[in-house]
């Protein structure tokens, strides 16, 4: 497995609702808060195995309240909806940066497949999507 580059700078822009990651060579990526929240690597979102994912909805207005370092390998954002169990490794953040367009489309496809609106409140028990 290849080692993902480490971000040289991480900025949280509350007004634009994005986290900007800057890598060597001035490569910069912006990850929207909603995108980060619906793709959280936490067990609450991903489940404990294939088919156990919980499709996240109603996260358009979520913000990041704070960002905590996790050792030398990750960060843990705390979201305004109380979600704080996702540990975003440097590898996962970089994967999100370079695959953002496809990941977002996968999310939109899951919403459509589930017949759920992106802004719908989270259902108790949630919806599932096999690819998310």
Q: Which CATH number covers residue 75?
A: 3.30.2020.30
| DSSP-based helix, strand, coil % in the chain, nearest 5 | 30, 25, 45
63 located within any domain: yes
Burial class (CB in 10 A: 0-12, 13-18, 19+), 74: middle
122 located within any domain: no
1 located within any domain: no
17 located within any domain: yes
Neighbour count for residue 116 (Cβ, 10 Å): 18
Tens of pLDDT, residue by residue over 65-122, are: 999 999 999 999 999 999 999 999 999 999 999 999 999 999 999 999 999 999 998 8
131 located within any domain: no
97 located within any domain: yes
pLDDT confidence of residue 3: 80
Mean pLDDT for all residues in the chain: 91
CA–CA separation, 33 and 64 (whole Å): 7
User: 61: part of which helix (H) or strand (E)?
Assistant: none
User: What residue has token string 């999100």?
Assistant: 96
What pTM does this model have?
A: 0.91
pLDDT confidence of residue 124: 63
Domain that holds residue 52: 9-114
Domain count, the chain: 1
């Amino acid at each position: 497995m290849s080692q993902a580059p480490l971000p040289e700078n991480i900025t949280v822009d509350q007004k634009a609702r994005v986290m900007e990651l800057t890598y060597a060579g001035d490569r910069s990526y912006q990850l929207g808060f909603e995108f980060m929240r619906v793709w959280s690597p936490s067990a609450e979102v991903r489940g404990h195995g294939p088919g156990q994912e919980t499709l996240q909805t109603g996260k358009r207005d979520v913000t990041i309240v704070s960002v905590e370092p996790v050792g030398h390998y990750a960060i843990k954002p705390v979201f305004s909806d109380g979600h704080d169990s996702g540990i975003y490794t440097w590898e996962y953040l970089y994967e999100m940066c370079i695959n953002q367009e496809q990941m977002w489309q996968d999310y939109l496809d899951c919403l459509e497949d589930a017949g759920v609106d992106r802004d719908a409140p989270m259902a108790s028990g949630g919806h599932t999507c096999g690819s998310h």
